Amino acid sequence: MKKVLVVYYSRTGHTQEMADAIAKGAQTAGAQAVCSAVQDVNVKELVQYDVIVIGSPSYYGAMAGDVKKFLDATIAVQGALRGKVGGAFCSSARVSGGNETTLLSILHAMLVHGMVLTGGSATFPYGPVAIHAPDDTTTREECMAYGRMLAELAAKL
């Protein structure tokens, strides 16, 4: 069974809701999925997972400082994440609030780790995004579809 870790930073709970939906989606593909706040994850734990998905609110067009701090600390496992599947998700206060630039800032770090990324669907090419709360069913469904897609890719690898 593939193991999926969904890491998030969330102050309002919006990004956390997205994380829960992504984990649920991964479970529908038969994976075991765990959601953790970034503050609770030790970078050494990452090596046990087949899929690592990281989500953040958009702060000044990029990931929150806590997520960047976490990614900076992953130098401790540089080389050990190679070939794992990576993904990102983001929530923002407004349309054009930096969701895509935030996603890309996370995906860039994953490429440096040698992880394998996948484009999402036509509606969320870099990863799912929400404006404020992911209260519409579309965003939740997109998050679930993304979780499922990442778990299925890991199963193929």
d(CA 83, CA 100): 24
Site for another protein (CB under 8 A): which residue of 39, 42, 78, 138?
78
Q: Which of 65, 125, 132, 138 binds another protein (CB under 8 A)?
A: 125
Exposed, middle or buried: residue 113 (CB in 10 Å: 0-12, 13-18, 19+)?
Answer: buried
Under the criterion CB under 8 A, does residue 96 sit at the interface with another protein?
no
Q: Does 43 bind another protein (CB under 8 A)?
A: no
Closest to another protein by CB, 112 vs 133, is 112
Q: State the Cα–Cα distance between residues 97 and 91, nearest whole angstrom.
A: 9
Q: Whose CA is closest to 133, among 16, 45, 9?
A: 16
Q: Is 153 in the site for another protein (CB under 8 A)?
A: yes
Residues that bind another protein (CB under 8 A): 78-79, 81-83, 86, 104, 107-108, 110-122, 125-126, 153, 156-157
